[in-house]
Structure 1
């Protein structure tokens, strides 16, 4: 990726990059995919996977290629959508670089394998990024903050929570997604009622899963709806959302 900087003609045509904010749940923790940069600038610093878009590929193709090259992950498994464009003049010390950030979500994704100019790739707890334990390169902290809020908001109004679940899933597993990402405990009975009363959110499979203890749990898959009506709203610090 960074070898392009050696060719001035390529640099002039390649000031457009993609970065990926990729989230998954592991051991009931929200995790983000990071790479340790192997080259300057920010050598040795953690960053989101990403890089320059090649001349003959779309933004999405560039994002999927960089993900495969830097982390060894097949992006076809992911829910992938554009998050936003970041173009502050000082965001990259090499020059004026505009990046299109992608938001990517997947269920319990595999261990990544670093490649190209990434020394290694790893899953990092989002809590360690929010509390400052890990400091990200470039403006990736800003992208992270906006990506997290976008995920939390979309859980309210869309069925994107199902992207974190391997199908078929139980309502307890779906509720865990909301609790981990929102950082709120949800009443199991109220959550079940809301999900089942939201048309098209989930579809019963007619099957059950037998847990080590307790009663069998009904299994579901994602339904046909994308927008949730009514939405599932977070509680605010002062009580319920309007």
Structure 2
């Protein structure tokens, strides 16, 4: 039976909300192919590793970020014949959407590492090496969907937050403005999404706003649909 040598790799879409925008962790490649181009962190699977071990090792080696508290989930598998000029390489992509991540530090074959606004990267399909624009697009869509049915957005807020601050997280991840009154109604009527902290704040400006804490819900029903 005919076959060709096959390489197996893992790539990572690491997202966070920084400075009011959804940002992705990118590395600038220090080796060929695509030397000097931005790319997602990742690399080849070693003989003694499973896929997730590779993803976590590459994250630490290329960016200096510890993966101990980062939950990774598989997004998709990418295997187009010409996706890597070095030969036939299949890559499994992992996603993490995590708050409070520090500045990365480049290492191994990465010349530099940085947080970059997702909108800026997706607007330029030729900016990323390999097929990483497609992988990033798929990862961002998965992250946006997660905010529809999970309370993950509250993790990006202070322990006590206003509905306006929570709305800012949704707007950053979804990349679209939301109607404040409609959003407030949906959040407060979704069972166990948020609970009153019994206090108010003026840090949003204007009149005092009620403070909330994350509730006990693990899934949101009805979901926080992007269509309003």
SS in structure 2 opposite 1:33? strand
Deviation at 1:182, TM superposition (A): 2.0
Gaps of 5+ in 1: 1-11
Residue 100 of structure 1: CA displacement? 0.9
CA contact (8 A) 2:194 2:212 kept: no
Name 1:50's counterpart in structure 2.
Answer: 42
Looking at structure 2, the residues matched to 164 and 54 of structure 1 have their Cα atoms a distance apart, in angstroms, of 34
Unaligned runs of 5+ in 2: none
2:153 to 152, 155, 161: 161
Cα 1:204–1:60 change in 2 (3 A) is farther
1:193 aligns with 2:185: yes
Equivalent residue runs for 1:138-157 within 5 Å = 138-157=130-149
What CA distance in whole angstroms lies between the structure 2 residues aligned with 1:83 and 1:144?
A: 10
> In the TM superposition, what is the alpha-carbon distance from 1:172 to its structure 2 partner?
2.1
For 1:184 and 1:118, the matched residues in 2 are separated by: 33
Deviation at 1:164, TM superposition (A): 3.4
2:111 corresponds in structure 1 to 119
Distance 2:126 2:63 in 1: 19
Question: Residues 133 and 195 (structure 1 numbering): CA distance in 2 closer, same or farther, change over 3 Å?
Answer: same
Residues 153 and 67 from structure 1, CA distance in 2 versus in 1: closer, same or farther, beyond 3 angstroms?
same
What is the TM-score normalised by the length of structure 1?
Answer: 0.82
Shift of 1:184: 2.4
For residue 78 of structure 1, the aligned residue among 67, 70, 85 is 70
C-alpha displacement of 1:161: 2.2
Q: TM-score, structure 2 length as denominator?
A: 0.87
Matched, 1:231 2:223: yes
State yes or no: 1:26 paired with 2:18: yes
Residues in 2 aligned to 1:169 and 1:61: alpha-carbon distance in whole angstroms? 36
- The question of whether the paired residues in 2 share the 8 Å contact of 1:105 and 1:163 is answered with no
Asked whether the equivalents of residues 200 and 208 of structure 2 are also in contact (C-alpha less than 8 Å), the reply is no
The root-mean-square deviation of aligned C-alpha atoms, in Å, is: 2.3
CA distance in 2, matches of 1:56, 1:133: 35
